[in-house]
Amino acid sequence: NTTLTYTGTADATTMMILDAPHLTRPYTLEDREITILKDVSLSVPPGEFLVIQGNSGSGKTTLLTLLSGLDRPTSGRIFIRNREITNLSEDEMAPFRNRTFGFVFQSFHLVPSLNALENVMFPAELAGSGQAREKAEALLDRVGLLARRHHFPHQLSGGEKQRTAICRALINE
């Protein structure tokens, strides 16, 4: 089981940046139903740092896909900055997700035909930012990759790909 423990300092009057009460998500595998998450609740106040850890197959990725709106719980609700996202359509969710969430995947998911700078700029351009290049260059500079901004993913080391993916996740703040 995945254990979620909040040990922050927020009190009951603090507005939560994320509030997800009573999430449940089963999946059907062949002819049987497997409940990956059962009645999981999570609240995170602004400024808090949270680690979700657990054994392989314990539901960490399922939880993150629910919280980001990539999947939907079968029960429970998800609020981001007091806005319920549980039943948003994909047309409503896609721009919200682009402005609100940054992902760093284990395999990076960099676009092979885009250089490091373009990969970092991509979410900001989708969001209509007029400062995508400046923001991307500042982020790449911060992680020591400004000199490699014109290199394509196949020309970057694993660590450089990871840092590029982190910059891409951070560009929309």
Q: Please write the tens of the pLDDT for every residue from 35-56.
A: 989 999 999 999 887 888 888 7
- Residue 167 confidence (pLDDT) above 50: yes
Q: What is the mean pLDDT of residues 149-164?
A: 95
- Residue 14 confidence (pLDDT) above 80: no
Query: Tokens for 125?
Result: 């351009």
Query: Tokens for 164?
Result: 């590029």
Between residues 108 and 114, which one has the greater pLDDT?
Answer: 114
- Per the DSSP assignment, residues forming a β-bridge with 3 are 53
Q: How far apart are CA 84 and CA 69, in angstroms?
A: 10
Quick one: pLDDT band at residue 100, thresholds 50, 70, 90? confident
Contacts of residues 99-102 at CB distance under 8 Å and 24 or more positions apart, as own/partner, are: 99/127, 99/172, 100/172, 101/68, 101/69, 102/168, 102/169, 102/170, 102/171, 102/172
* Contact present, 146 and 167 (Cβ < 8 Å): no
pLDDT for residue 12:
52
Alpha helices in 84-157 (DSSP H): 90-100, 116-126, 132-142
Q: What is the mean pLDDT of residues 119-132?
A: 93
- The residue among 54, 49, 29, 168 whose CA lies nearest residue 110 is 168
Mean pLDDT (the chain) is 88
